[in-house]
Amino acid sequence: MRLNLKSAIFLGGAILVVIPALASGLYFANTLQQRVETTNTNRLRSLGELAADQLARRMHQLWRDVEGMARTTNLATPEHLRDQFSFLAQLDPRYSWVGAATIDGKVVAAAQGLLEGQSVAERPWFRRGLNGPSASDVHDAKLLERLLPASPQPRRFVDFSAPIKSQDGNVTGVIGAHFDWNWVGENIGSLATPGVDILLLSRDRTVLYGPADLQGKKLSVGSAIAAGQATSISLDERWPDGRQYVTAVVPNVQFQDMPSFGWSLIVRARADEVFAPVRALIRSFWTVLIIGILCTLVLLYLFAQWVSVPIRRLLASADALANGSANEPVYEETRYEEASKLAAALVRLQSQSMRPYQKRTTSVTSD
């Protein structure tokens, strides 16, 4: 079945308009979405790097303070040390406890006299501090839980310790400081923005700080595994709550020579919230594009109709002329040059075909 002129113009024009428009639309939408994903991922990573750097710098300063105190601590004057430690704890609320113990683990001086005379030989901070400046990961309060003022939640500490050495370089004891874990959480939380969660993970992928439903849980999502492997990565993944999140991993929370806690950061944002603006923009784009295509098709149909009508009329005149029944004059087409020339040609043909009849009529009249 052959196409008529109107159908050929409409279908050909539709193909030339619709296919490039759809191809361009798909390319634009995909490119826009990829750029938005990249931009948001970079934003999350930058936020995570800022949080990690800020936390590491502040922890490093505390570590340097403890190390500096170890160099000036004299175990021979415990009363003076107690006064110093008590003043420091009152001046800086981040210190939950600070004290010094002899090489056998007996506390000889501490802020407010807490734990003095008791043994801390089995505590990790003490054992590590004998070998050099150390950092101990967050842990629940043990000996101090019953000595410190009551707290609505169990107390948790991060520990720094350093060896106390004599003038000849021999280790004579250890100075240790417990820092309130809430301070660490407040530092991280201060950088969180609406719709964005910052999670602090331990070396074994346990959530130390983050949304309440995840704290204390061990994560198995891809970003947590990458964090445990010290890999910086960005993912779009489904979490245990069934929601899709865009995540960025900062594998290390460390500054300069501070001992590592093994911490890592994950910054996440809900994918539907992150991509909602661009998806709305893409929907608007497709709406405008489809409306534009439909309007173009309507105009194309009207144009095909405009082009084909003169041809159909001239075709009817040509058929009549070919069948010898051209009684009606050829329609004078003026829409476009080709139709006008074709109409003029048909008029000439019609005139030539009418000459013999006109001659016979003239001879009959003269007779």
For the domain that residue 137 is a member of, what is the CATH number? 3.30.450.20
Give per-residue pLDDT as tens, 229-273: 767 777 888 888 888 888 888 888 888 877 778 888 999 988 888
> Helix count (H) and strand count (E) of the chain?
8, 10
Lowest mean pLDDT among 44-58, 92-106, 166-180, 219-233: 219-233
Out of 242, 274, 306, a domain closes at 274
* pLDDT for residue 154: 76
- Assess whether 108 and 123 both reside in one domain: yes
For residues 336 and 240, the model is more confident at 240
Lowest mean pLDDT among 104-108, 151-155, 193-197: 151-155
Count Cβ atoms below 10 Å from residue 346 Cβ, excluding itself: 21
- Residue 1 within any structural domain of the chain: no
* pLDDT for residue 357: 52
Given a cut of 90, whether residue 108 has pLDDT beyond it is yes
Domain extent for 266: 19-58+192-274
Q: What percent of the chain has pLDDT over 70?
A: 93
- Assess whether 310 and 342 both reside in one domain: yes
Long-range contacts of 167-172, Cβ-Cβ distance < 8 Å, separation of 24 or more: 171/103, 171/130, 172/75, 172/102, 172/103
Is the Cβ–Cβ distance between 84 and 91 less than 8 Å?
no
- Residue 13 within any structural domain of the chain: no
- Assess whether 288 and 247 both reside in one domain: no
Is the Cβ–Cβ distance between 133 and 161 less than 8 Å?
yes
- Assess whether 140 and 167 both reside in one domain: yes
For residues 26 and 150, the model is more confident at 26
* pLDDT for residue 19: 92
- 363 pLDDT band (50/70/90 cuts)? low
Given a cut of 80, whether residue 120 has pLDDT beyond it is yes
Given a cut of 60, whether residue 111 has pLDDT beyond it is yes
* pLDDT for residue 367: 52
Place of tokens 């910054």: 267
Is the Cβ–Cβ distance between 188 and 211 less than 8 Å?
no
Given a cut of 90, whether residue 164 has pLDDT beyond it is yes
At residue 77, the 3 state secondary structure works out as coil
Name, in order, each residue with C-beta under 8 angstroms of 194's C-beta and a sequence gap of 6 or more.
none
Closest CA to 102 of 57, 165, 146, 58: 165
For 119-127, what is the mean pLDDT?
91
- Assess whether 101 and 116 both reside in one domain: yes
Out of 274, 294, 322, a domain closes at 274
Q: What does pTM read for this prediction?
A: 0.70
CA angle 85, 89, 90 (to 5 degrees): 120
- Assess whether 143 and 197 both reside in one domain: no
For 89-98, what is the mean pLDDT?
88
- Residue 8 within any structural domain of the chain: no
